[in-house]
Structure 1
C-alpha cells in the first residue's frame, strides 16, 4: 500500500508540488465528469439533493428564458410577413424546449452542465456563508467599497454589487451566466426545438424568422459579461494595492462574496476566473490552500478562510487543512507559484495538456 507524503515532506519541493497539483486537477476533472452524469440520475448519488435541485432549476429557467425570447421575436417577424398561423403557435408556446432538449439528451452536454453545476455550487456556498455571518458584523466588504472616496473604486464596487445581486436571484428566477460559446450552443438548440414544434406550419419563412431571432438574442446577450467581468474589474483595482490582497480575499469570504474571492484569486495567480473558481470548489484536495499560499497569504488568513469554507461546506476536510497549515506557512510563495505554473497557460493549452496527461484506460 502506498503512503501519501506528508505536507512537511512536500514543502519546498516545487516539482513534487507541481505533480501533486496536476494529479489533483485530474481528480477534480474526473469528479466533475461523474457529477455531470450524476445530475440526471434518479437515485442518490455523489451530488447532494440540494445541489442537484439547484442545478436543474437553473438549467430549466435558462432554457425557458431563451425560448421565450426567440419565440417572441420570431412570432413578431412572422406576423409582419403574414405567417399568422405559425406566429400563433410560437406565441402560445409555453416551456416546450426544456423537455425536448432533455429527451434528446442535449442537456447532458458536459461543458454546459459543468458550468451550471459550478454556478449552483457558488450560489449554495454563498447562502451558507451568509448564515455564518454575525448580525453585528458591520458593513460587508463591497458596501464599504461603494462608499470609498476614490470614484473608480466606488463605481467598480457598485457594478459588482448590482451584478452579484442579479446572480443571487433564486436559481429558478434567472438565467445562468454562460460563456458565449455555450450560450450560442443553447440558443441554437432552442431554435431547433421551436422549428420542430412548428411542424407542417414551418418552412423557409419560419426558418428565417427563427434564425434571425436567435441571432438577435445572441447579439443582445451580455450575460457572460455580468458577474465575472464586474468581479475581475474590482479585483484588479484591489490587487494593485501592495500587501492588501490577502485581507481583501478574507473579507470577501467573510462577506459571502465568493465571486469576488474567485476574481482576486484569479488575479493573484494570473489565471482565468473559471480556473480559480474550480480551485475554490475543489473540496477534495489541498489545491486551494496551495493556491492561497502562491497568492502570498499568510498562515492565519489561510486558516480563517479554510475554517469558513469548512463550516459552509461539509465536504471540506478541516483536519487535513490543519495538518497543512504549518508546512504552508514555511513554504516560499514562489515555490507554490512554480508548482501551479500550469494555471497561467492559455485555457485551451491547459485543456490540451490535461487531456494528454490523463491516465488512459487499460
Structure 2
C-alpha cells in the first residue's frame, strides 16, 4: 500500500487528511516497534528502571520548559516592541516544544543525556541515604558549618553550594526557573528549542522577523543562564577551598555521606584523587561499586570509613548488594594504596583518550 499523500484533486479534503494521518500513524508504528526491539535486546544491567525513567523524563521536561519560557517570553516581548503583534501572538500560542525535540533526537546526544542521567541517579541515591547523626550532637549540617568557617574562601564556597542546592531543589520539583548546565549543553538545548518554536509558530512570509527575535532571545538566555554556578561546580570549588590532605580525607567523606551531601562527597573524592568530577560521579552511581572502593583505597581511606560509606550506599537503593559488600570488605582492604593508584592510572588520562580506550576494549 502506498503511503504517499493522495492528489487533492482526486479526493475531498477530509479524505486527504485521513490518508495523511494513516501515513503518519504507519511511520509512528514503525518507530515504536524499532524502539521496542532496541529496548528488548538491551542487557539487563543496561536497562533504566521505571522510577529512574520517570525522574529522567521529569528533569528533561523541566529543562526544556525552563528554556522554552525564557526564549519564548523574550522573543514575544521583542516582537511586540517591534510592532509584529501577529507574530508575537502566534509564538505565544505555540504548544510545548518538548515532544518535538525529543522525537528529533535531542536527548540522544550522549553528553547531554549522560549529564542529566547522572544528576538524576545521584539525586535519587542521595535521597535514599540513611540519616546518620554524629555523636557530636545537634550542631549545624556539614555545609552550614563550613559556611561559618573562619576561612573566608571556604565560607564563601560553602554559601555558594547552599545557593546552588536551593536552585537545584526548585528545578527538580519541576518549577521552570534556572537551568544549570555547562555553556555548550545550554546552547545546544536553547537553539533546538528555538528551532522547534520556529516551526510551530506559523510565521509564514514573516519567518525572517521571527528568526531574528528568537536568535536574539537565545543568545541572551545563554549569556544569562551560563553565569549561574551549577551545583557540581560549586561543590568542586568548595572541595578545592578545603583541600583535604592525608588523614583529613576520610572524616570529611564520612561527614558528607552522613549529611546526605552526595555531590559534595563526589567533589571531595575527585579533588583528593585528582580525577574529574564526572569520572568520580560515574563510579558513585555505579551499583557495582568496585571502582569506587579502589579509588578510596588509593586515598588510603580506612576500613571503618569505607564500611560506613558502603553500607550507606547499599541502603540507598535496592540494586546494591549489601551482603556482597560485607563479604568483599576484607578483599577491598587487601588492596594497598599503591596498587590502587596503579590500577586507576588510566582513569586520570584525558577523558576522550580514556573513552577511546574503553571503546576499543569493548569492540575487541
Shorter-chain TM band: 0.7 to 0.9
Aligned to 2:51: 50
Following TM superposition, by how much is the alpha carbon of 1:137 offset from its aligned partner in structure 2, in angstroms? 5.8
In structure 2, C-alpha distance between the alignment counterparts of 1:47 and 1:357, rounded to whole Å: 24
Q: Does 1:205 align with 2:209?
A: yes
Q: Distance in 1 between matches of 2:104 and 2:156?
A: 45
Q: Provide the C-alpha distance between the structure 1 equivalents of 2:94 and 2:258, rounded to a whole number of angstroms.
A: 44
Superposition deviation, residue 283 in structure 1: 0.7
Partner residue in 2 for 1:117: 117
Q: 247, 251, 255: which is aligned to 2:259?
A: 255
The answer for unaligned runs of 5 or more in structure 1 is: 1-33
SS in 2 for 1:199: coil
What is the alpha-carbon distance in structure 1 between the residues aligned to residue 284 and residue 107 of structure 2? 25
Partner in structure 1 of residue 97 of structure 2: 97
- 85-94 or 245-254: which moved more? 85-94
Q: What's the counterpart of residue 175 of structure 2?
A: 173
The one of the two structures with greater contact order (alpha-carbon pairs below 8 A, sep at least 6) is 1
1 CA distance for matches of 2:116 and 2:106? 14
2:9 alignment partner in structure 1: none
Offset from partner CA, 1:83-104 (integer Å, 9 cap, x none): 221112223345x111211333
Per-residue deviation, 1:318: 1.9
Q: Does 1:132 align with 2:124?
A: no
Q: 1:116, 1:176 within 8 Å by CA — same for their partners in 2?
A: no
Moved more, 185-194 or 319-328: 319-328
Q: Structure 2 vs 1, CA of residues 133 and 330 (structure 1 numbering), >3 Å: closer, same or farther? A: closer
Report the CA distance between 1:241 and its aligned residue.
Answer: 4.2
- Decide which of 312, 335, 342 is 2:316's aligned counterpart: 312
For the Cα contact (< 8 Å) 1:269–1:337, is it kept in 2? no
- Give the TM-score taking structure 1 as reference length: 0.81
| Residue ranges of structure 2 left out of the alignment (5+ in a row) | 1-34
What residue number does 2:79 align with? Answer: 78
The residue correspondences of 1:222-301 to structure 2 (distance < 5 A) are 222=226, 225-301=229-305
Between the aligned partners of 2:203 and 2:149, the Cα distance in structure 1 is: 61
Structure 1 CA distance for aligned equivalents of residues 201 and 274 of structure 2: 48
Q: Is the 8 A contact 1:59 1:176 kept in 2?
A: no
C-alpha displacement at 1:150, in angstroms? 2.1
**Mean Cα deviation higher: 349-358 or 58-67:** 349-358
Q: Cα distance, 1:306 vs. partner?
A: 0.1
* Structure-2 change in CA distance of 1:300 and 1:134 (3 Å): closer
User: Among 188, 193, 211, which residue is 1:190 paired with?
Assistant: 193
Q: Secondary structure at the match of 1:316?
A: coil
Is the 1:153–1:234 Cα contact (8 Å) retained in structure 2?
yes
Aligned position for 1:68: 69
Supply the distance in 2 between the matched residues of 1:286 and 1:176 (Cα, whole angstroms): 33
Aligned partner of 2:150 in structure 1 is 149
8 A contact 1:293–1:333 mirrored in 2: yes
